[in-house]
């Protein structure tokens, strides 16, 4: 399959991606094409004021900080392209699982939106192989090409020299969100434990101190996959974790079995209900009902929305055992094949890929810009630390968020994890993970 080559190239170069990312001063040299010019400051190109007509944008940004970030983009889109009408096609729930099911049906029925959200990496390659999206090389060139987007990030959204989406952000998956007051009351240090075993010992101390939920997790399968991937990374280390996604790699190893065992142990300190998706699990930490939660850094905006101060009311550190590794995912936007208003879609992509759009969106969402020419100093403290980590640390790709595994493989991992949530059969989970890899990773 074509996407395997693209993913192998992308993963092999992710350290280079990190090395050329981070803050900086905005570029001043515009890139030009036949439609017009653009600068790093904001979008341009195409007809003045936009192509006109409805522009349907399909996302799963339907609640919380994600919804707020999309609202910022919508506001800018209406300002910069007043001829167009933004149509919000967001579908809530399941880190995109509900949206992806609806999108798949729409694409199969030849009813595509103008543009839809996809994760850079294996997930996006599904749409490329199905011939459901168009190349956007002209828009990427107009936005500055690999002088502003890390080349290795572009590799993850490219096949045979064609680029198939515009990256809007970069997120970190392996983040522990901490309520320091809950830990202090139990006499536990707020410093990050050195490894998983030390962290599990702290979870036990919280439980012994009377905290019913030392670590919160959503009951939605994807939130459990999100937790599992961090534990898998901690147990295997970055290089061995990344090797799991090389074609033909075996998951039937002692290291994977050990990760499953430690995942099972961590779940004994988690809630069994009360948080169906990530916002509710994050709010448990905000409200002091849980000491910890592992979630991507979109959670920072949930804390901000409750007027909590980073470094005082809440802390964040890499999942114990993963310090020095940035577990990566990136959202990007496509030009759907057969879109009714492709020129309007290109106006949307111009905004999403501009420095203006990426600054406004990412400050609200908690992510960092995919562009390397957006000044880090314009962002809050947490996002500045994420920019530094992305620039300096090793890179691994998220399973739960489509960077490491395509939709089919991700779904089967989710099924195995969901089954384990109910039966707690470690051998069964290992067998499920092995079967999913054997079927999909060829």
**CATH architecture, domain 172-327+398-440:** 3-Layer(aba) Sandwich (3.40)
**Predicted local confidence at residue 44, as pLDDT:** 59
**Could you tell me whether strands 53-58 and 84-88 are parallel, antiparallel, or unpaired per DSSP bridges?**
parallel
Of 210, 166, 126, whose CA–CA distance to 333 is shortest?
A: 166
Q: What's the CA gap between 166 and 163, in Å, rounded?
A: 8
The CATH 3.40.190.10 domain(s) of the chain lie at 2-171+331-384, 172-327+398-440
pLDDT in tens, the chain (442 residues): 444 444 444 454 554 444 444 433 333 222 333 333 344 446 755 568 999 999 999 999 998 778 889 999 999 999 999 999 999 999 987 667 788 889 999 999 999 999 999 999 998 888 999 999 999 999 999 999 999 999 889 998 999 999 999 999 999 999 999 999 999 999 999 999 999 999 999 999 999 999 999 999 999 999 999 999 999 999 999 999 999 999 999 999 999 999 999 999 999 999 988 888 898 999 999 999 999 999 999 999 889 889 999 999 999 999 999 999 999 999 999 999 999 999 999 999 999 999 999 999 999 999 999 999 999 999 999 999 999 999 999 999 999 999 999 989 999 999 999 999 999 999 999 999 999 999 999 8
Structure tokens at 352: 């999403």
Q: How many CB atoms lie within 10 A of CB 302?
A: 23
Give CA–CA dist 440/243, Å, rounded: 15
* 3-state class (DSSP) for residue 93: coil
How high is the pLDDT of residue 277?
87
Q: What is the pLDDT of residue 274?
A: 84
Length of the chain: 442
Judge residue 337's burial from the number of C-beta atoms within 10 Å of its C-beta, 0-12 exposed, 13-18 middle, 19 or more buried. Answer: middle
CA 122, CA 356: separation in Å to the nearest integer? 28
Q: Which homologous superfamily does the CATH classification assign to the domain defined by 2-171+331-384?
A: Periplasmic binding protein-like II (3.40.190.10)
For the CA atoms of 345, 347, 353, 359, the dihedral, rounded to the nearest 10 degrees, stands at: -120
Confidence at residue 112, expressed as pLDDT on a 0 to 100 scale: 97
CA dist., res. 379 & res. 242, Å (int): 30
3-state DSSP assignment of residue 394? strand
| pTM recorded for the entire structure | 0.88
The DSSP output letter for 147 is G
pLDDT of 15? 46
381, 366 Cβ separation under 8 angstroms:
no
Give the position of tokens 């970030």. 69
Over its C-alpha atoms, the chain yields an Rg (Å, rounded) of 21
Count of CA atoms in the C-beta half-sphere (13 A) of 397: 32
Q: From CA 358, how far away is CA 362, in angstroms rounded? A: 6
Please list the helix, strand and coil fractions of the chain in percent, rounded to the nearest 5, in that order.
Answer: 50, 15, 35
Residue among 370, 382, 372 nearest 300 (CA)? 382
Phi, psi of 10 (to 5 degrees): -65, -45
What's the pLDDT at 28?
29
The residue among 353, 335, 442 whose CA lies nearest residue 153 is: 353
Task: Give the C-alpha distances (Å, rounded to integers) separating 334 from 137, 164, 185.
Answer: 11, 6, 48
* Residues forming a β-bridge with 159: 162
**Which residues lie across from 329 on neighbouring strands?**
171
DSSP one-letter code for 377: G
> CA nearest 179: which of 213, 220, 204, 224?
213
Strands 213-216 and 290-294: parallel
Give bridge partners of residue 336 from the DSSP assignment. Answer: 133
Angle 345-351-353 from CA coordinates, rounded to 5° = 100
Return the structure tokens found at 355.
């420095």
Pairing type for strands 394-397 and 325-329 reads parallel
Torsions phi, psi of 252, nearest 5? -90, 70
CA 42 vs. chain centroid, Å, equals: 24
């Amino acid at each position: 399959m074509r996407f395997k080559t693209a993913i192998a190239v992308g993963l092999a170069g992710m350290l280079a991606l990190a090395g050329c990312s981070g803050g900086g001063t905005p570029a001043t040299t515009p890139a030009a094409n036949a439609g017009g010019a653009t600068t790093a400051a904001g979008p341009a190109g195409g007809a003045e004021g936009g192509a006109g007509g409805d522009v349907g944008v399909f996302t799963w940004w339907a609640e919380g900080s994600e919804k707020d970030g999309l609202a910022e983009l919508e506001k800018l889109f209406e300002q910069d392209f007043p001829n167009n009408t933004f149509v919000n096609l967001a579908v809530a729930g399941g880190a995109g699982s509900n949206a992806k099911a609806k999108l798949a049906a729409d694409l199969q029925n030849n009813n595509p939106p103008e543009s839809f959200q996809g994760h850079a990496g294996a997930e996006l390659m599904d749409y490329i192989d199905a011939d459901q999206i168009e190349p956007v090389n002209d828009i990427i060139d107009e936005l500055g090409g690999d002088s502003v987007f890390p080349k290795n990030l572009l590799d993850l959204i490219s096949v045979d020299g064609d680029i198939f989406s515009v990256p809007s952000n970069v997120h970190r998956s392996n983040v522990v969100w901490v309520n320091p007051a809950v830990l202090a009351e139990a006499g536990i240090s707020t410093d990050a434990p050195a490894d998983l075993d030390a962290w599990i010992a702290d979870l036990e101390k919280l439980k012994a101190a009377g905290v019913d939920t030392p670590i919160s997790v959503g009951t939605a399968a994807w939130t459990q996959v999100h937790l599992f991937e961090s534990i898998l990374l901690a147990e295997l280390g970055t290089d061995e974790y990344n090797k799991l996604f090389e074609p033909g790699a075996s998951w039937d190893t002692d290291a994977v079995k050990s990760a499953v065992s430690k995942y099972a142990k961590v779940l004994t300190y988690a809630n069994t209900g009360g948080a169906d998706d990530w916002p509710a699990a994050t709010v448990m930490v905000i409200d002091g009902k849980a000491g910890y939660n592992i979630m991507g850094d979109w959670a920072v905006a949930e804390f901000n929305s409750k007027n909590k101060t980073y470094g005082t009311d809440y802390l964040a550190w890499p999942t114990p055992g993963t310090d020095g590794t940035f577990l990566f995912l990136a959202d990007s936007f496509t030009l759907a094949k057969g879109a009714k208003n492709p020129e309007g879609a290109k106006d949307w992509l111009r905004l999403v890929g501009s420095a203006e759009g990426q600054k406004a969106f990412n400050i609200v969402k908690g992510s960092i810009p995919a562009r390397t020419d957006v000044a880090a100093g314009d962002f809050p403290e947490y996002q500045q630390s994420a920019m530094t980590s992305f620039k300096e640390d090793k890179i691994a790709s998220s399973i739960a968020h489509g960077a490491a595994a395509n939709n089919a493989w991700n779904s089967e991992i989710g099924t195995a994890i969901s089954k384990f949530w109910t039966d707690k059969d470690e051998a069964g989970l290992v067998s499920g993970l092995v079967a999913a890899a054997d079927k999909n990773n060829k």
